[in-house]
Structure 1
Amino acid sequence: MKENSLKGICEEIIYSNFFKSHAKALRNYLFYKYGNEEQAEDVTQEAFIKLWENCASVPLEKAKSFLYTVANNTTLNQIAHQKVVLEYTKKNPVSGTDKQSPEFLMEEDQFKVKLQKAIANLTEAQRTAFLLHRIDGKKYHEIAEILGISVKAVEKRLHGALNELRKEIDNIR
């Protein structure tokens, strides 16, 4: 029985169907969690490659969990580099010459800072749950399955995220 389970994901048709049914959700999850679309695309591809390379040791029923774990770990390994780049960017702002009015550019910069601050003030758990629910339209039980937590924990994270965003929005006005 176990041998059939392991062979399952190694079969090209099963793997292809698995990819088609999970690739977009994984990409969106990574994008919402870490906020970088290119990185989300790259890590999604890397995770599926690792799944294919390890198909003989990953049972079909654990393939989704394996995929999300690999994707999370890969992205977490890249975060240190992203933080360095962000700090460098903060210390050395790039001055661009656009044909837009200085007032527009100033308002745009102020809005970006406020938006980044509001998002940055959410915990990773709150931000991930919030974006999966509001942007991706995932239901609480789907988010709970993806994150490996209870539905009650998802509710708590979303409630906390909404409260924090309300506070930030009130401070922006």
Structure 2
Amino acid sequence: MKIKSKENICQELVFKHVYNTHNKDLNNYLYYKYGGQYNPNDKVQEAFIQLWNNCKKVTLTKAKAFLFKVANNLMLNEIKHQKVVLKYQQINHKQHNYETPEFILEKDQYLECYKKALEKLSKEQRVAFLLNKVEEKKHSEIADMLGVTKKVVEYRIYSAFKILKTELENFSIK
């Protein structure tokens, strides 16, 4: 098909001819220049969309230059964007701590007291208590895991609470 240089790109057949003529060359140009990591095929498609949107302004003789310029600019914009993303990822995002030093000290002291109180529990009490309060297991599940009855588990947890309550008398336990 022979296209005259004065024909309008907005005509479907003319645009199709421009697309078929320059699509592969433009894709190869972007791929060879920038590699496949920035999706050159997507940029080629975007360039043709921009050509279609500006078909009344672009003549047939300038279509190739328009496509290559637009596609190259799209690729450069993508590279700039990826640099910004990379720079943002490298920034150490500081976590702000609004807790007072006194609160942090009290929390650390409580944690130490709690650990010491847990050490005073028997192994059976500690296991039953931690499975119930930390792992959020039900009494029947704990009984199945330990191979004891539900009543034994309830007693172990109750006695663990009793010991913890006396050891941590300054703290409220729920």
- Compute the TM-score of the two structures, normalised by the length of structure 1: 0.44
The structure whose RCO (Cα within 8 Å, separation 6+) is larger is 1
CA radius of gyration, larger in = 2
